[in-house]
Amino acid sequence: MNASTLKRPMVDLSKPRSQRPMMGLDIEEWRGEHNLSKYDAQYALGFRNSNHYNKMCALPLLPEALELLIRLYEEVPRERGWARYSIKELFHLMYDPALEPFVGTELETWARVDLGTRFAKIFGRSSARQYQWLSDDRRRNDTDLPAYAVIECILSKLKQVDDPREVLERVAKKVWAMRGVDLDVEFRVPTPDFPPTREKTGRKPGVKSKKPAAAPARKATDRKA
């Protein structure tokens, strides 16, 4: 079952914030706990302006990436700095060790796809986003991130921890588990014992499908016959 097909989880407000998905009203609670002005909270969470802030505070369920960022602040409760990872740099830092056993084998491409899908899902993005984020085309690298300021904030927060891979994986698993998704089951990291598997039918990743050749036009003499 894919996470994108899951229904929006019901939020049990009788539970503390640490045991349930976060709602918009939790932003104000979090801001109060850290004695932040609205302006400082907007900056911390990557909101464009006060209207954006108010819109997020009214949501019945926060986007996964925004909840991930707030929970990272709970892990590291200090202002984010200017330094940040690039999205591609973070992917390699997190998953190159898992990819290494498959490099140079027929499973390398599939392993890279599985890891990219998991990486995109951590941020609440579709599997298609990985191709844009991780492409070798320099024109695509990070060019779309300004539209996702919350992800830029996450990349900055991870610069403040000693082991960004461990912290991001742990916090993301918690965010998704409270929404009924087990990342290690639905978007597992491939290993030599449990390699990536794909159907043998269909085209391989990175190979463009070829359109069937058009039938040659009939000659006028053929039509008369």
pLDDT tens-digit series, residues 71-128: 999 999 988 888 999 999 999 999 999 999 999 999 999 999 999 999 999 999 998 8
Cα–Cα dist 107/28, whole Å = 47
Domain that holds residue 129: 15-186
Domains in the chain, number = 1
189 vs 197: CA distance, rounded Å: 12
Task: With respect to residue 33, please indicate whether it lies within any of the assigned structural domains.
Answer: yes
Q: How far apart are CA 117 and CA 38, in angstroms?
A: 34
The two structure tokens encoding residue 59: 């949501």
Number of Cβ within 10 Å of residue 194's Cβ equals: 9
Give the whole-angstrom CA distance, residue 86 versus residue 99.
19
On whether the CB atoms of residues 2 and 9 are closer than 8 A, the answer is no
Q: Is 174 a domain residue?
A: yes
Q: Could you tell me if residue 221 is inside a domain? A: no
The residue type found at 37 is S
Say what angle helices 64-75 and 149-157 make with each other, to 10 degrees.
30
Residue 178 CA: distances (Å) to CA of 69, 157, 194: 15, 22, 26
Classify residue 8: in a domain, yes or no: no
Domain presence at residue 212: no
Task: Choose among 130, 126, 138: nearest CA to 109.
Answer: 130
Q: Residue ranges of the chain with pLDDT lower than 70? A: 1-8, 137-148, 199-225
The answer to whether position 46 is within a domain reads yes
Residue 34 counted as domain residue: yes
* Domain presence at residue 20: yes
The 8-class DSSP code of residue 46 comes to T
